[in-house]
Amino acid sequence: MTVTAERPPAAGSPRHLVGAADFAELGLGALLDRADGLRSQRHAADRERPLIGRQVALLFEKPSLRTRVSFEVAVNALGGHAIALGPDEVGLGRRETAADVARNLSRLVDAVVLRTFAHATLTEMAAASDVPIINALTDDEHPCQALADLLTLRRHFGRLAGLKLAYVGDGNNVAHSLLLGGAVAGLDVRVATPPAYGPDPTIVARAGELASGSGGRITVGTDARSAVADADAVYTDVWASMGREAEADERRDRFASYQVTTDLLVAASPDVVAMHCMPAHRGEEIAAEVLDGPRSVALEQAENRRYVQEALLIALVGEA
């Protein structure tokens, strides 16, 4: 008797979301169009459910509120089943190699959503996986957040190309994905950080290449007010990202002049919106009156995580 595997590897190479540069290949405009449609149909009784019978593993090595909840809601809303796995359950890189985890999960689920530390862990899993791997945050990038940010901007301004987006603060994973995603979208992205806290030069160079093909523009410097001048949106994030909490006191001193305040926004466009991916530290990277004020779109950014991730899941899993 011949015994065959119940779930053979998927035919062909799967598409992954490794970083925000992948928006170009995945079709940024189509993803945002679909996400917008899904948002408008969120309460419809006949809403599409293309993930019926599909299983999605959510493998999270870092804490999460918005990312985990928005992905679980997205999978369930599309008719699929989300399986949440914490760091102690998998022991990624300790109990098993990332490649072995990917190969095993490829036989059991239809996609893997991964939040991890080293970006190399994500790329190792993607190289070994027969199902899509979606980057839910690494130390290098946060592309799902950037995708939600672009949807938020497009819904607010009615367009993306030519918008001026200023990012003020730490040149971290969020900044990296905004540079790359903004470049794909044709934005004028300006990043201002304290000296020695700028974004990775390799990411900046890649963003510049992408911007040259989209009509966008990339500027990186240390002058917050110059970056914010005439900006349509001003974005910030925590000064000490996950894994850098021990540097928090030192960073408060070095980043003090990079707080997004009402005074800083005076230099921006009269219709400027304030953006933050949250969690936020009011009184540090952003003033409470800005985050909680009428110009803030932070909660819309958070809500839009669900819809862009639904669009991603359909594109990578539902239509595969």
Average pLDDT value for residue range 198-209: 98
Class of domain 143-301: alpha beta
List the catalytic residue out of 145, 259, 301, 309.
Answer: 145
**pLDDT tens-place string over residues 164-173:** 999 999 999 9
Which residue has tokens 């110059």? 226
Domains 20-141+304-318 and 143-301 are alike in CATH topology = yes
**pLDDT tens-place string over residues 262-306:** 999 999 999 999 999 999 999 999 999 999 999 999 999 999 999
Which residue has tokens 């949807």? 151
Segments making up each domain of the chain, as ranges: 20-141+304-318, 143-301
List the catalytic residue out of 277, 301, 306, 309.
Answer: 277
d(Cα 294, Cα 271) in Å, to the nearest integer? 11
Q: What is the pTM of this model?
A: 0.95
List the catalytic residue out of 66, 68, 115, 154.
Answer: 115
List the catalytic residue out of 154, 188, 237, 301.
Answer: 237
What is the residue-wise DSSP string for 187-237? -EEEEE--TT-PPPHHHHHHHHHHHHHHT-EEEEES-HHHHHTT-SEEEE-
List the catalytic residue out of 142, 154, 190, 217.
Answer: 142
Average pLDDT value for residue range 96-109: 96
pLDDT of amino acid 11 = 52
pLDDT of amino acid 48 = 86
d(Cα 110, Cα 133) in Å, to the nearest integer? 10
d(Cα 294, Cα 315) in Å, to the nearest integer? 34
Is-contact 168 197, C-beta < 8 A? no
End-to-end CA distance of the chain: 32
In which band, very low, low, confident or very high, does the pLDDT at 241 lie, cut at 50, 70 and 90?
A: confident
Distance of CA 31 to CAs 27, 35, 265, 316, Å?
6, 6, 31, 11
d(Cα 271, Cα 72) in Å, to the nearest integer? 34
Is 144 marked active-site? no
Is 237 marked active-site? yes
Is 142 marked active-site? yes
Is 115 marked active-site? yes
pLDDT of amino acid 46 = 87
DSSP state of 259: -
pLDDT of amino acid 3 = 37
Return the percentage of the chain with pLDDT > 70, whole number: 96
Decide which of 277 and 88 is more confident: 277
pLDDT surpasses 50 at 1: no
pLDDT of amino acid 299 = 98
What CATH superfamily is the domain 20-141+304-318? Aspartate/ornithine carbamoyltransferase (3.40.50.1370)
Q: Which residues lie closer than 8 Å to 22 by C-beta, 6 or more apart? A: 16, 143
Query: What tokens were used for 204?
Result: 């900046």
pLDDT surpasses 80 at 320: no
pLDDT of amino acid 6 = 43
Query: What tokens were used for 141?
Result: 């990038």
Is-contact 150 185, C-beta < 8 A? yes
Which residue has tokens 């390799």? 202
List the catalytic residue out of 15, 251, 305, 306.
Answer: 305
Average pLDDT value for residue range 124-130: 98
**pLDDT tens-place string over residues 2-51:** 333 344 444 568 999 999 999 999 999 999 999 999 999 998 888 989 99
Average pLDDT value for residue range 142-157: 98
